Amino acid sequence: MDLIDHVNKFWRFYSLLIAITGFALLWWLSKYFATKKELDAHAQNLEQHKQDFKKHKADHYRLSEMVNKIDHHVQNLPTSQDSQALRETMARLEGRLESVEPMFKQILNQYNMLLENELRGEKK
């Protein structure tokens, strides 16, 4: 009974205390919890990030396929030993062609002489 009398006597103080506590609680809730607008904006932002991630993922797969193709082509390129062997073969072939060149000149000269001789024979 004394408690009820005390509360009735100081009801303004207790109502002020409850109001201040309520306002403090609302302030704390507004500071640490999101509003509906913020939640909607966050959800929209999250959806945009998901779409961007899907595009990025598709680009990543496309680039990955390109890298795999390039790696495949690089693996099939000749090695330095292969290119050195090819250079040596080309050098030998060039030497052989240079040695055959005088014979071709002789054959061409003989062909020209025969053709000239044949043309002179028709004029007679």
Q: How far apart are CA 24 and CA 30, in angstroms?
A: 10
Neighbouring CB atoms inside 10 A of 14's CB total 13
- Please tell me the predicted confidence (pLDDT) of residue 122: 65
pLDDT of residue 123: 58
Mean pLDDT by 10 residues, the chain (124 residues): 86 93 92 86 94 94 94 90 93 89 90 88 63
The predicted pLDDT at position 67 comes to 95
Region class of 43: left (phi > 0), else alpha (psi between -120 and 50), else beta: alpha
Integer Cα distance of 27 and 18 in angstroms: 14
Cβ atoms of residues 30 and 37 within 8 Å: no
